[in-house]
Amino acid sequence: MVKLNRKFCIAPMMDCSDRHSRYFLRLFSKNILLYTEMITAVAIIHGDRDYLLGFSNQEHPVAVQIGGSDPEQLYRVARICEEYGYDEINLNCGCPSDRVQSGSFGACLMADPGRVADCIRALRSGSSLPVTVKHRTGIDQQDEYMIFSQFAAIQIEAGAVALIVHARNAWLSGISPKQNREIPPLKYDWVYRLKQDFPDTEVIINGGIKTLESCQQHLTRVDGVMLGREAYQNPWVLHNVDALLFGEQSRPKSRHVLLQEIYPYIERQLAQGMPLTKMIRHIIGLFHGEPNARQWRRHLSENAWRNSAGIQTLYEAESLVNQP
């Protein structure tokens, strides 16, 4: 099995990281590791698997993030995910939402490291895919590095090949998931120290990172960087990632070239009955900060929902943006 390059990853984001988003982001780089949004083990076992897990070959390398805490279910899910062709299975131990807590998974699992270890062993038993964990620096007001470090050690012992750390605590009550990405203070130094303590384990840092220049700085201390909302809201931030982070010599694509490359995919999806709105919401931030970007966004927002909306709607929106 080819070893995955986790130097730069795009975070799993609920209601954002679907197959259309991943196809678009792949156009920016052949090297970045993409993730699905969190999919619950129960949904995979009992739901529409093709809808939940289906993806295009062009998306590789792509990892699936699973939410769950029942080792028996996770064993079954691991087998299914391997059959679908994913490159990695990631266990969510970082989401603080009430819905996730009610299912006894996500960030609340950090209070039960033994259960997490059982989950990792089940995932590893169910497939040959590498298993990773995405977690926080702790929960609520816990502020002891050793508790964080011990959690990591237990997961490494169970077989996690990489730890993806959102460098904030997850507050399990009192604030929203959005606030949980902003209010708890960042603890980058904890993640750097974790890498020093576990030099043989890949450590990927996440949280509050907005530029590739910041990524370069973090990469002097850890193995990889994961970018989240910034890459979704302002995808152009990725345009030079292969050159800056992977040493590629290829010239970055322009915004308009990227649109030309996504159009055939959108046309194929439209022909299969996929509504235009399901796809354009992922590309609407492409011209962020550019002249006439507001006109681009407005035209799509006002017209993409119409029954008659098709690829022509995108052509019209693009014509409103200054050409290079």
* Cα–Cα distance list, 181 to 80, 177, 303, 314 (Å): 31, 7, 32, 32
Sign of CA dihedral 164, 49, 101, 68: negative
> Hunting for tokens 């959005």 — which residue is that?
178
Question: Could you list the active site residues?
Answer: 95
Q: Are 155 and 118 in contact (CB under 8 A)?
A: no
- In the chain, helix, strand, coil percent, each to 5? 45, 15, 35
Please give, one letter per residue, the 3-state secondary structure of 211-252.
Answer: CHHHHHHHCCCCCEEEECHHHHHCHHHHCCHHHHHHCCCCCC
Q: Which two structure tokens, joined as six digits, stand for 126?
A: 């169910």
Question: Is residue 112 classed as helix, strand or coil in its secondary structure?
Answer: coil
